[in-house]
Amino acid sequence: MIKQAIIPLAGLGTRLLPLTSVFAKELLPINGKPGLEYILDECFEAGIKEIIFIISDKKKMIKDYFYNDTFYKKILKKKKDIRILKEYKKILKYKKMIKFVYQNKPLGTGDAVMKTKKHIKSNHFLMLLPDDLIVKNNCSKEMINVHKKHKSSVMASMTVNKKTVSRWGIYKLSKKLSKNNYKIEDVIEKPKIKDAPSNKAVIGRYILPKKIFSEIKDLKPGKGGEIHITDAIQNLIKKNNLFVAHNFKGKYLDCGTLHGYINSTLEISKL
């Protein structure tokens, strides 16, 4: 059973500068609620019991958001505000599930995953990238079912515009395994248009095997000098580990850019 999730949150958020020079983008409200809470709710509904946040000293604000008990208690003592009490209870519910680890140098997603090694207990775990919101359908829940059915690792997949392949991890698929699920033959991090094997992209939901840690350990820095989870996955695929691309049903919203962030608010307000 998949009961643990990890969320890399140590990214610098350069696409949202200057805001991110002082603020954690994952706490920016989307239709009144921090983006990160949508991700937490997705985990909850998918049956996740423990979530590991990978933060950095610069992103301490994220920990403070969940560890502000003195503040809430003081306020609630002064005024019995139902709304504040409800919000505090929600924060407490999240807090119970969260552990923090640190990645103080932004060396890439692979390096972020590595920081969680000693906390991962079962053979597979879920990873969610907080810039990628998927609404209308719980993508993590769907993927956990795919994992159960095919006894495999799983990644969320979406068809993207051919011109944008260098923005994503791109798959080469082999056979269809079941409805919306395909065996992955190759995955390449941010290829040039001419090198891209398709226009099927990795979206930020992954069910990864524990053995990914030993694969990351041996990785050399890839694109942009970072340690990419995609490269570790590609190595596991080459060693005959089954990775399934799952075409999710929900709507994808990219919150990592200003345009995407504004659009997410508009889309979620329509739900």
Q: What are the residues binding ligand G1P (CB under 6 A)?
A: 109, 129, 131-132, 168-169, 189, 201-204, 228, 230, 256
Residue nearer to ligand G1P on the CB measure, 34 or 169: 169
Residue nearer to ligand G1P on the CB measure, 35 or 94: 35
Residue nearer to ligand G1P on the CB measure, 130 or 209: 130
Pick from 52, 55, 30: nearest CA to 43: 52
Cα–chain center distance at 210: 17
- Closest approach of ligand G1P to the CB of residue 91, in Å: 27
Q: What is the CA radius of gyration of the chain?
A: 19
Residue nearer to ligand G1P on the CB measure, 26 or 132: 132
Residue nearer to ligand G1P on the CB measure, 66 or 171: 171
What are residue 189's DSSP bridge partners? 169
Residue type, 10: A
- Closest approach of ligand G1P to the CB of residue 6, in Å: 14
- Closest approach of ligand G1P to the CB of residue 75, in Å: 37
Pick from 112, 141, 148: nearest CA to 6: 112
Residue 47, phi-psi category: left (phi > 0), alpha (psi -120 to 50), beta (remainder): left
Residue nearer to ligand G1P on the CB measure, 70 or 161: 161
Contact yes or no for 65/58 (Cβ under 8 A)? no
Strand ranges in the chain using DSSP code E only, listed in sequence order: 4-8, 29-30, 33-34, 50-55, 98-102, 124-128, 132-135, 153-159, 169-178, 181-189, 200-209, 243-247, 251-254
Residue nearer to ligand G1P on the CB measure, 16 or 66: 16
- Closest approach of ligand G1P to the CB of residue 156, in Å: 9
Q: 188-191 — which CB contacts under 8 Å span 24+ positions?
A: 188/230, 188/234, 189/222, 189/223, 189/228, 189/230, 189/231, 190/165, 190/166, 190/223, 191/165, 191/166
- Closest approach of ligand G1P to the CB of residue 117, in Å: 19
Chain residue whose CB lies nearest ligand G1P:
169
- Closest approach of ligand G1P to the CB of residue 138, in Å: 18
- Closest approach of ligand G1P to the CB of residue 49, in Å: 25
Residue nearer to ligand G1P on the CB measure, 140 or 230: 230
- Closest approach of ligand G1P to the CB of residue 70, in Å: 35
Contact yes or no for 33/133 (Cβ under 8 A)? no
DSSP state letter for 123: S
What are 116's two structure tokens?
């969680």
